[in-house]
Amino acid sequence: MNLPAGHPPVAQPRVGVLLVNLGTPDAPTPKAVRRYLKEFLSDPRVVEIPKPVWWLILNGIILNVRPKKSAHAYAQVWGPGGSPLATITKAQAEALQGQLGNSIMVRWGMRYGNPAMGTVLAEMKAAGCERILVAPLYPQYAGATTATVIDELGRQLAAMRWQPSTRTLPPYYDDPLHVAALRDDLARQLRALPFIPEVLLLSFHGMPDRTLHLGDPYHCQCRKTARLLGEALRADFPELRVETSFQSRFGRAKWLEPYTEETLTALATGGVRRLAIAAPGFSADCLETREELAIRGREVFEEAGGLDFAALDCLNTSSAGMAMLEALVRRELGGWI
């Protein structure tokens, strides 16, 4: 049907997929890191401390001290295309676009920093996406990760007169597709190592211990991922000991235990000489895997007496990881395509 004269252009209706990850500064500089940390750490989902108290701590101490230290860490892993998280998430979106075909629009955004999730969502709507699957790339659910994406989605929709229909990708921590992808990709990497690890340490991002007692399922979901993955690897690696820990502890409060750094030290002092570490709670490599685990983790393990150490890649754009992501997305798009 022809539009009446003077009618504004109308985009062809489309289905869209928006991949969302946590975020990254725009550059490995104190100024850029400070801007990113201010946005990230101002979210009450991320830091559950009374706002007036936290405002003083954040603006009076953290934002004056931490940006320089974090910028140095980012500089060690920054690549030509930017931070690992941004580069890999972009590559995942491009690969998924190729797998799904041009009838579906695939885009990527960040919850904090750029490209901002809200900006990308608005661009997709303007391009004709009347149905959008928002996919937080967090296998395990946490209030400080998955919930913040859903919060932001709600805020963006509230500002739209013509809202698209939306769905969200559920956590997939125990999905057989996820467990099989982790098993296949980690097995491939383990076989390629120049040594045989005695221990595979599965390190998940930490959360304050109180989140567990407040009802956040994150700890239990991490533990289940680790258990299922350990069982899946047993057939091919019967002698491999699988351990679980939590990294990135911040502040003086108790966080989920055992802590990764302490576990690395304990394993090495206890006689383990050959170790591999993996991060099955991350969909893409980032500062926490490339710097905290691969660089600082190695230093901790070797200083405590360990000899051989390998930090394994996340699923990233591996064939196993992309096949899993395509299958999860196609399942959630059921009835739309």
Establish whether domains 14-172+321-332 and 176-311 are of one fold.
yes
Q: Is the pLDDT of residue 3 over 70?
A: no
DSSP state of 288: I
pTM of the predicted model as reported, rounded to 2 decimal places: 0.95
194 prior amide bond cis, ω within 30:
no
Check whether 245 has a pLDDT greater than 70.
yes
The CATH class that applies to domain 14-172+321-332 reads alpha beta
Are 276 and 298 spatial neighbours (Cβ–Cβ below 8 Å)? Answer: no
* pLDDT for 250: 85
The model's pLDDT over 169-206, given as tens digits with 9 standing for 90+, comes to 999 999 999 999 999 999 999 999 999 999 999 999 99
CB 111 within 8 A of CB 310: no
Span 327-335, mean pLDDT? 97
The percent of residues in the chain predicted with pLDDT above 70, rounded, is 97
Mean pLDDT value across the chain: 96
DSSP label at residue 277: E
Q: Hey, where are the domains in the chain?
A: 14-172+321-332, 176-311
The stretch 215-237 carries a mean pLDDT of 98
**Residue 251 binned pLDDT confidence (cut-offs 50, 70, 90):** confident
pLDDT digits (tens, 9 = 90+) for 49-90: 999 999 999 999 999 999 999 999 999 999 999 999 999 999
Contact 259, 206 (CB under 8 A): yes
Lookup: tokens for 203? 């390190």
Fold of 176-311: Rossmann fold (3.40.50)
Is the backbone of residue 23 left (phi > 0), alpha (psi -120 to 50) or beta?
Answer: left
Tell me: the pLDDT tens digits for 23-35?
999 999 999 999 9
